Amino acid sequence: MTAGLPPQEIIRLKRDGGRLPPETIEAFVQGVVSGAVTDAQLGAFAMAAWLNGLDRDETVALTRAMTASGRTLDWSGLPGPALDKHSTGGIGDTVSLILAPALAACGAFVPMIAGRGLGHTGGTIDKLDAIPGYMTRPDVGVFRAAVRDAGCAIVGQTQDVAPADRRLYAARDVTATVESLPLITASILSKKLAAGLSALVLDVKTGSGAFMASIDDARALARSLVEVANGAGLKTSALLTDMDEPLAPVAGNALEILHAVEILAGRREDARLVAVTAALGGETLAQGGLAASAEEGAARIAAAISSGAAAERFARMVAALGGPSDLVDRPRAHLAEARTTLAVAPERPGVVAGVETRALGLAVVALGGGRTRAEDGIDVSVGLDRLAGVGEEVGPDRPLAIVHARDAGAAERAAAAVRAAYRTAEAAARRPLVLERIA
């Protein structure tokens, strides 16, 4: 380690409530990349930061150090702006799969560097791993070619883009430190700054299925992200959106890919998912100068989805990154299916009045669709489908969900978890989808 202090002393300083100067943070991040900081030390640092926080200067220093820990990309040669959106995570959040190709169809270029699942939420990269042959970690040349030719490419972090974040991200996932505001800020923005974007829009979730369950915490995170990003020269705004229930009626990797493809192909409708996608896309197009207003941009995104233009871009992206060229036309021929399915009847008929959304995510993790350890593999076929939404009537003819599982025992355990997560009443009302804009 440089800057005088070994890793354990840096951890001790933060554990005891001390403030880390920029050069000390930079030295720690260098140790993360070189391997001088062990996994145990990285987990301890994440917990110390979670317990005692990082102030704004520490967060900026951590973000800059993580950005500088690897390669940064330059898209200045493209004939349009490089734009992106990032979500803080939720259940049934398949927005990226639909929005990236829709933005591309509207003239943007979308070099989206996405993440794997964190805690109870599914990750976009884990979902894309359900597509046979799809390269979620291509080399930079393949990534650039896909962005140029398809207009979008959704990939994971390569070895040389923000490598410090890759290790910290994995440590947060398994040490109950996912919700740390400064660590979230540094993780998200280090990747986005390294991606060389012209503008960024953030989807900050709030509700029972979000990392920031309270709207005050979500607002604080959004402000932190927007202030740090704009301070670093990246034009950024944020929307606070509802995660008090699953955004889409599916949770699980292959199931969410199938759902997104069916929407893009016009074979399935999902008004809530498309509405959030259009709102975020409209904001993104306006930030990037491709629409006069967010409202105009939202209309263009909706049109790109309904016309099939977004589906065409998605198909080109999948093929460019090694996936099957006919995925949009024949998704079931390529996506894995679970061996066992089970309909989950409610304890009593009624109208869905509330959902403990986080519990649904944990049920998917327990099925094998997520991780409890960084090295865990994922069964992409398992998950939940036909999830009932708030305000829907459930009973003998309308189950709460369909469980997709490896075997009958796992299906029964998941069914019990799903049943416990739902609350029914005689009537219910949904929250608005978009709660606030932070700029």
208 is a catalytic site residue = no
38 is a catalytic site residue = no
- The residue annotated as part of the active site, out of 59, 63, 64, 85, is 85
Is 154 strand, coil or helix? strand
CA–CA gap between residue 159 and residue 168 (Å, rounded): 14
- The residue annotated as part of the active site, out of 69, 187, 190, 208, is 187
Please report which helix (H) or strand (E) contains residue 218, including its range: helix 215-231
- The residue annotated as part of the active site, out of 124, 136, 198, 241, is 124
- The residue annotated as part of the active site, out of 14, 64, 167, 191, is 191
CA–CA gap between residue 203 and residue 317 (Å, rounded): 23
96 is a catalytic site residue = no
Contacts of 18 by beta carbon, 8 Å cutoff, 6+ apart: none
69 is a catalytic site residue = no
What distance, in Å, lies between the first and last C-alpha atoms of the chain?
Answer: 38
- The residue annotated as part of the active site, out of 24, 63, 67, 87, is 87
Element counts in the chain: helices (H) and strands (E): 16, 12
> Do the bridges between strand 393-394 and strand 235-242 make them parallel or antiparallel, or are there none, so unpaired?
unpaired
Helix ranges, 247-324 (H): 253-264, 271-287, 294-307, 309-320
- The residue annotated as part of the active site, out of 172, 334, 358, 371, is 172
192 is a catalytic site residue = yes
Query: Which residues lie across from 342 on neighbouring strands?
Result: 403
- The residue annotated as part of the active site, out of 144, 192, 235, 259, is 192
Q: Are 273 and 248 in contact (CB under 8 A)?
A: yes
84 is a catalytic site residue = yes
- The residue annotated as part of the active site, out of 24, 69, 84, 277, is 84
- The residue annotated as part of the active site, out of 24, 59, 63, 86, is 86
Q: Is residue 233 packed enough to be buried (19+ CB in 10 Å), middle (13-18) or exposed (0-12)? A: exposed
Sign of CA dihedral 416, 420, 424, 430: negative
Instruction: Tell me which amino acid residue 381 is.
Output: S
Q: Are 251 and 384 in contact (CB under 8 A)?
A: yes
124 is a catalytic site residue = yes
Contacts of 191 by beta carbon, 8 Å cutoff, 6+ apart: 113, 115, 157, 161, 162, 165
187 is a catalytic site residue = yes
Q: Give the residue numbers marked as catalytic.
A: 84-87, 124, 172, 187, 191-192
